[in-house]
């Protein structure tokens, strides 16, 4: 099992608004690069949420390949920013705090 050491991340980016979570690695990397002009190979963690606020995906380049994580929250919902054209840079401590109520 791979764990991501958040202390070694070059950044943590929350992609605001709705993302089609049917997209895989290539589609999500394309969103990062084409829509937000960020580098998906930068060892940053990119977080995406779909229409339903009880699940999200995370994309991370670990140096020799992408890691795609998918989480469905069983009891609660994410508090996700809705501005579709915005990306928010988070600090590691913000990621450690709960994303849901």
**SS3 category, 7:** helix
Domain count for the chain: 1
pTM metric for this prediction:
0.84
Give φ, ψ of 74 to 5 degrees.
-80, -30
Full residue range of the structural domain in which residue 66 is found: 10-96
Residue 41 lies in a domain: yes
What's the confidence (pLDDT) of residue 32? 97
- Give the rounded distance of the alpha carbon of 71 from its chain centre: 11
Q: pLDDT tens digits, residue range 23-50? A: 999 999 999 999 999 999 999 999 999 9
Residue 5 lies in a domain: no
Residue 1 lies in a domain: no
**SS3 category, 50:** coil
């Amino acid at each position: 099992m791979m764990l991501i050491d958040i202390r070694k991340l070059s950044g943590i980016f929350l992609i605001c608004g709705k993302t089609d979570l049917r997209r895989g690695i290539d589609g999500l990397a394309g969103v990062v690069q084409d829509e937000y002009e960020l580098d998906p190979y930068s060892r940053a963690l990119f977080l995406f949420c779909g229409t339903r606020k009880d699940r999200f995906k995370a994309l991370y380049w670990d140096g020799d390949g992408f890691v795609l994580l998918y989480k469905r929250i069983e009891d609660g919902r994410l508090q996700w920013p809705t501005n579709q054209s915005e990306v928010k840079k988070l600090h590691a401590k913000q990621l450690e705090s709960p994303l849901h109520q």
